[in-house]
Structure 1
Amino acid sequence: MSIEVGAKVPGKVSGITNFGAFIDLGAGKTGLVHISEVSNGFVKDINEVLKVGDEVTVLVTNIGADGKIGLSIRKAEDRPQEEKREFPKKDFHKAGPKKPFNRNQGNQNAANNSKQDFDSLMSSFLKDSDDRLSSLRRNTEGKRGGRGGRRS
């Protein structure tokens, strides 16, 4: 039996690695199922899904020029076609003109008190910043032997 891309073939798990499983396809042919192609869900440990000796049906996804065969178990599974979800269609052209976005629409006080709030926030920030700078200077000058530091 010749192996072609797109063919579903039976095989037997001949080896497991942390990145996938080797499948013996018969006639001296072996292919690899990457861990991402084992199941539709996330597979952290392939040993929880497959064991050496398990018989599986695989889909041949590619055949490299060097003879390496890429396989997929999840694509070989016959699943019924999922129903397409239909969303209601909206006619955006008939909706009318859109109102401009107003950032302060729900907060009337923000427009009235923004100047006062900004000034109070800025003054508290500057006071806090000055306090931090002066304590930082005081601590580092003593350690570096700068002005006012002790000398022996």
Structure 2
Amino acid sequence: MEFGVGSILEGKVTGITKFGAFVSLPENKSGLVHISEIAYSYVNDVKDHLKEGQSVKVKVIGIDENGRINLSIKKAMDPPPRPAGQGRPMNGSRSGAPRSQGGGFRRSAPAEPATFEDRLKQFMQASDSKLSELRYMDKRGGSRRGGRK
């Protein structure tokens, strides 16, 4: 069975790191589920969500030029329902402000965190994730852009 991007597979967690989990797949292949692809909620510690030996359903979200397989657990399942009160108002208007004159469809920007603390928390989460990835790449002696071989 050949699989590619978009395939949904069953796998088994074989290793857990700070930045994600390694999953064994059919055909003696393995892939990585990055910490950001484990759950729809914020994941502080991978071990809070996964255990070694656990069976998981994963979706192949990428295969790079070196054959490394990027996986997602959260994309292999349905997203959680939105809490009531979020989203657009029932009457279809966004606010009391008049609509722009462009006439075209405009996608609204993602909601920004309301308080400074929320913004700082979001920044720190993104920063920690990037630092973990950079440290991992340094340990492996690789480059994020594939410069070294």
Question: Do they superpose with TM above 0.5?
Answer: yes
How many Å separate the matches in 1 of 2:23 and 2:87? Answer: 37
Which of 73, 79, 92 is residue 98 of structure 2 equivalent to?
Answer: 92
Percent identity reads: 43
Aligned AA (1:60): V
- The CA distance in 2 between the partners of 1:22 and 1:56, in whole Å, is 11
Name the counterpart of 1:30: 30
Q: Secondary structure at the match of 1:75?
A: helix
Secondary structure at 2:36 match in 1:
helix
After superposition, residues 34-49 of structure 1 pair within 5 angstroms as 34-49=34-49
Q: Which residue of 2 aligns with 1:74?
A: 74
Using a 3 Å threshold, how does the CA distance of structure 1 residues 81 and 91 change in structure 2: closer, same or farther? same
**What's 2:13 paired with?**
13
Taking a change above 3 Å as real, the CA distance of residues 91 and 8 of structure 1, as seen in their structure-2 partners, is: same
- Residues 64-106 of structure 1, C-alpha deviations (whole Å, 9 max, x = no match): 110000000011113477599443425738xxxxxxxxxxxxx
- Give runs of ≥4 in structure 1 deviating > 2 Å: 78-93
CA displacement, residues 118-152 of structure 1 (integer Å, 9 cap, x when unaligned): xxxxxxxxxxxxxxxxxxxxxxxxxxxxxxxxxxx
* Superposed displacement of residue 29, structure 1: 0.4
The aligned amino acid for 2:4 is E
Q: Deviations over 1:19-47 (max 9, x none)?
A: 11000002110000001110111111111
My pick for the range that moved more, 73-82 or 25-34, is 73-82
Q: CA deviation at 1:55?
A: 0.2
Which protein has the larger Cα radius of gyration, Structure 1 or Structure 2?
Answer: 1
Distance in 1 between the 2:5 and 2:24 partners? 16
Q: 1:56: which partner in 2?
A: 56
**CA separation of 1:91 and 1:13: change in aligned 2, threshold 3 A:** closer
Unmatched segments (≥5 aa) in structure 1: 94-152
Query: 1:92 is matched by which residue type in structure 2?
Result: P
Normalised to the residue count of structure 1, the TM-score between the two structures is 0.55
Aligned Cα RMSD in Å? Answer: 2.2
- Which amino acid in structure 1 is aligned with residue 98 of structure 2? F
Which whole-Å CA distance do the structure 2 matches of 1:29 and 1:81 have between them?
33
Q: Contact between 2:19 and 2:35, CA under 8 Å: does it hold in 1?
A: yes
- In structure 2, stretches of 5+ residues that fail to align are 100-149
